[in-house]
Amino acid sequence: MTPDKDITIYDIARHLNISATTVSRGLKDHPAINKNTRKKIAEAAKALGYRSNTFASSLRSRKTHTIGVIVPRLNSYFVASVLAGMQDAANREGYNLIISHSLEEVSNEVTNAHTMFNKRVDGLLVSLAYNTENIDHLQPFFRKGIPVVFFDRTWPHPDSTSIIIDNYQAAYNVTKHLIDNGSRRIMHLAGNLLRNVYAERVKGYKQALKDHKISFEEKLIYTSKLDEESGTRSAEYILKMKEKPDAVFSANDTAAVFCMIRLKAAGIRIPEDIAFAGFNNDPISKVIEPNLTTVNYSGYSVGEAAVTSLTNDLNRISSIKTTNSIVLRSDLIIRGSSLKNKTS
């Protein structure tokens, strides 16, 4: 079967018996074209199956009105919330998103970045993969003056902005809460310390211990990918310890919940034997019993702020970069998993 040829503005012009220039202007809602004529042009374009040649127009304007997005993974409530915020903000600003995910592998992240660059995206939003050790693959964007905004998992760069929360303070608050509820031997389930979010959470945890005159023990740090399997493995690690922790602070909710499930199956009482706290306020934190104490911060707000920052740069709303970081709010949500002292 021979494919149908593309409909052009000349086909629409012949169909309506008007000039191609009028059709072109009408499709762009030019005020010089009568409202009724614009309506007829739009209806004819739809009926004939006209598709705007965005590639040609982008070559003329040197803008594609697309924003590239690279996330570590898609099977995450937090990432889904971020993307929802990005999509709403992009729609308001007249931009489309091209979304890719690295599956937590830097090799995929590099490939995705090259693809975005070749697709001539107007800007790039990035949350780094678990094992990214440098951002050489993003240098073509910086050299071309294409704005890059990091979110959540960030990398310091003088020509970029990062959308973050105060992970250090949030982790400090979680650890202090566990201490205030009677815990003294607190284990931390950490992520890869290459990533700012996990490194800052470890720092906050350590500082809270120090401020409360509790010695830090290296064996009470368990580093993993913080997925379901990691949570179960961390529980096995705890069960083999001669001197078990009396609290666990996990750098995300997933690892915390699956650690809790395994420990409960082994007869560990939560929070009486081991108190628990997580991070992210994922829906899973309200399904486990007892409900998980966690840190809440809005993925939607992170995504919205990332797009807003990027489009402000693209639209040159501010010619002076006043900050390299936008710090959003986070809150400690206290639930039953951490309340050793029930009256706290």
- Across the chain, what does the average pLDDT equal? 91
CB atoms within 10 A of CB 253: 27
pLDDT surpasses 80 at 58: no
The CATH 1.10.260.40 domain(s) of the chain lie at 9-52
- Structural element, H or E, at residue 208: helix 196-211
Class of domain 9-52 (CATH, top level) = mainly alpha
Q: Which CATH class is domain 167-297+332-338?
A: alpha beta
Give the number of other Cβ atoms within 10 Å of residue 166's Cβ.
17
State residue 26's pLDDT score.
Answer: 87
* Dist CA 14 CA 290 (whole Å): 70
CATH homologous superfamily of domain 65-165+298-329?
Response regulator (3.40.50.2300)
What is 72-84 written as a DSSP string? S-SS-HHHHHHHH
pTM: 0.81
Q: Angle at CA 324, nearest 5°, toward 159 and 204? A: 130
> What are the φ/ψ torsions at residue 285 (nearest 5 degrees)?
-70, -20
CA-angle at 203, arms to 102 and 208, nearest 5°: 140
Length of the chain in residues, anyone? 344
Specify whether the CB–CB gap between 176 and 208 falls below 8 A. Answer: yes
Q: pLDDT tens digits, residue range 85-123?
A: 999 999 999 999 999 999 999 999 999 999 999 989 999
Is residue 317 packed enough to be buried (19+ CB in 10 Å), middle (13-18) or exposed (0-12)? exposed
Q: Which of the 8 DSSP states describes residue 7?
A: P
Is pLDDT of 197 > 70?
A: yes
Amino acid code (one letter) for 309: S
Return the pLDDT at 2: 47
- DSSP letter at 270 equals T
Instruction: Provide φ and ψ at 280, rounded to 5°.
Output: 120, -25
Considering the chain, tell me which residue range(s) the CATH 3.40.50.2300 domain(s) occupy: 65-165+298-329, 167-297+332-338
User: Using CA atoms, how far apart are residues 270 and 333, in angstroms rounded to an integer?
Assistant: 17
Q: H or E element: which one contains 139?
A: helix 139-144
**Residue 256 host element (H or E):** helix 253-265
Question: What would the two tokens of residue 308 be?
Answer: 């807003």
**pLDDT for 259-304, tens place per residue?**
999 999 999 999 999 999 999 999 999 999 999 999 999 999 999 9
> What does the pLDDT read at residue 53?
61
Cα separation, 255 vs 308, in Å, equals: 32
Q: Can you give the pLDDT at residue 59?
A: 47
Nearest alpha carbon to residue 250 among 290, 201, 296: 201
CA dist., res. 42 & res. 252, Å (int): 50
For residue range 254-271, list pLDDT tens digits in order: 999 999 999 999 999 999
Instruction: Check whether 63 has a pLDDT greater than 80.
Output: no
CB 303 within 8 A of CB 71: no
